[in-house]
Chain A
Amino acid sequence: MRRITELAVIISLILGVSVLLVLAASILIPGVEVRQLAFFYLYTTINPWFQNYTVNSPEAVTAIVWDYRGLDTLFETSVFYLALIAGLALARGLFSETLQGSFNEKTSGLSTIVKTVTRVTAPMIIAVGASIGLHGHLTPGGGFQGGATIAVIPLVFIVVYSAFFLIARGVTSNKMLVLRSIGLLGIGFISIATFLIGLAIGRFAYVFQNMPKPGAIVGLPADINGALISGTLWFFNLFEMIAVAAGFTIAFIILLLAGRGGSGGR
């Protein structure tokens, strides 16, 4: 009886707050200044008749994330990187990535049916992740989403095969850290790529510049042979995808192997 009363109280509270929210939303609409900013973003996201301001990307969210507000995303990626470094430092000595005793791929893990299904679906998941990531400037999605989808693969393999399967295949935390660093370095390089081109040809250019802007006519190409890449957006999504996939893989390896032997493990 008490549970039902609690539940009724919670539901009535939620309904009350919902009514309040609906009323508030119908009265408090965003100000005119905010609307103008949104109008500017939507008007310039892809606009062939407005070449000096456009991003040439049909996906406004990716354009905002990596072009209009690119610096925020760069710092976000750096914070994720530092968090992983901290995780690795904390787990140091708690896990060892050397194969212990006799590890047999045939006998360890789940049944053959599950293993076969995993082997068939793994390339599909990678294809979906790559499509979400590399089409981030065309359709909803982007580097983080694609990378997180691809990161499901090591997780599934660890669960279905065994914790040491990936390590026997050479997927160690050190190699993933190298891949993660390549991703971050790539993002850093792309962010100054236009600036470097500007330096090389002696023209003025901004850091984190994508398309030509008034006063800075240097820019990356919007398409390669007719295929839209939106300048820096495609490269940012590619490197972010690599970085996120490798980063989540490191996290899983740490989590699954922590406490399973190692030099300082108890």
Chain B
Amino acid sequence: MITSILLLIIAPLLSIFFVYMAVTEKDLLKAAAYSAGQSIAYSILLQAMSTPDIVMTYIAVSVGLYSALLVFVISKTERFER
């Protein structure tokens, strides 16, 4: 019980940190990695809320497919934001 409450507090804060880093980062590849980190924080949050079905969808789509998509899109443009 106490573990899941702790996770419910830590995971959103972690996701806020990753979102802040992703928004302010000038290197787009690193920003994509921070975005994946935010997705992992959300997965922990969903697991703490005991919704394993949504965790499976969320991990496959947001950490795997979405990050790959972002990397492809970045490869078609410039890596550094000006």
* Chain B minimum-CB-distance residue to A150: B60
- Cβ A7 vs Cβ B57 within 8 A: no
Q: Is B65 an interface residue (CB 8 A)?
A: yes
Q: Which residues of A contact B57 (CB under 8 A)?
A: 144-145, 148
- 19 additional contacts, CB 8 Å, given A145-B57, A152-B64, A248-B65? A7-B20, A10-B20, A18-B9, A61-B53, A62-B53, A140-B53, A141-B53, A142-B53, A144-B57, A145-B53, A145-B60, A148-B57, A148-B61, A148-B64, A149-B60, A152-B60, A152-B65, A155-B65, A255-B69
Chain B binding site: helix, strand, loop or mixed by DSSP? helix
Query: Is B76 a contact partner of A259 (Cβ separation < 8 A)?
Result: yes
Inter-subunit contact B12/A140 (CB<8 Å): no
Interface residues on B, range: 10 to 19
> What is the total of A-B residue contacts with beta carbons within 8 Å?
48
Interface size class on chain A is 20 to 34
| Contact A10 B16, beta carbon cutoff 8 Å | yes
B68 within 8 A of A: yes
| A11 interface residue per 8 A CB criterion | yes
Which residues between 212 and 250 of chain A lie within 8 Å of chain B, taking CB atoms? 248
Collect the chain A residues with CB atoms within 8 Å of residue B55's CB.
140
